[in-house]
Amino acid sequence: MNKDINWYWNEVKKVFRDDEHMVDHTQKVYTYAQEILSGQPEMSTEEKRTASIAALLHDIGILEAEKKHGSRMGKYQHIEGPPLVRQIMEKAGELNGTIDRVAFIVGNHHNFKRVDGIDFQVLIEADMLVNLQKENIRKEKLEEFINNFFKTKRGKELAQPLYLKKREPTG
Ligand SMILES: [Fe+2]
């Protein structure tokens, strides 16, 4: 019997302990992932589940990266994330293929050139939707970036207000 999303959510909170920022960030990315998935009728239930678990676990290695390497940078998260993904998903009794897939996505999620499937694409779009809101990028650059980066229908729709609403820097 596969574990449900609440079970995974509990595991995420255990790993992030009292890091409220990471819990909050993961919640936001998961919510965006669900929105994007709702506009993807061509994806199978299994693919959607893989993308959902990947959204919940995508930053799972961040505290371990900081502890072991003194940095939260993507390249260290890519090292520390997959073993934690495997540990949690094995405990959940997932199939090896699903575990491998989520471990691959988590272990490459800052490496956009490695995106090789719609489940991976959904995760990076959801993560980007959260992260773009913190960035201060010029409107034209942002528009160009969004047009190139977002591939899913809902992802594009959700990203557009981020630059349409943006004002030109005054100074
Ligand atoms: Fe993230």
What integer best gives the mean pLDDT of the chain?
93
Query: How many domains does the chain fold into?
Result: 1
Q: What is the pLDDT confidence band of residue 134, given thresholds at 50, 70 and 90?
A: confident
Q: Could you tell me the distance, in angstroms and rounded to a whole number, from the CA of residue 26 to the centre of ligand 1?
A: 7
Within-domain flag for 128: no
Residue 85's domain comprises 5-122
Within-domain flag for 90: yes
Residues in the 5 Å CB sphere of ion ligand 1: 59, 127
Residue 129 has pLDDT above 90, yes or no: yes
pLDDT given for residue 135 in this prediction: 79
Residue 58 has pLDDT above 90, yes or no: yes
pLDDT given for residue 167 in this prediction: 54
Q: How many contiguous H segments (helices) and E segments (strands) does the chain have?
A: 9, 0
Q: Measure the CA–CA gap between 121 and 136, rounded to whole angstroms.
A: 23
Residue 55 has pLDDT above 80, yes or no: yes
Amino acid at 61: G
Q: Could you tell me the distance, in angstroms and rounded to a whole number, from the CA of residue 171 to the centre of ligand 1?
A: 31
Q: Could you tell me the distance, in angstroms and rounded to a whole number, from the CA of residue 131 to the centre of ligand 1?
A: 7
pLDDT given for residue 83 in this prediction: 98
User: Looking only at Cα atoms, what is the longest distance across the chain?
Assistant: 58
Within-domain flag for 89: yes
Predicted TM-score (pTM) of the model is 0.93
Residue 164 has pLDDT above 90, yes or no: no
Within-domain flag for 133: no
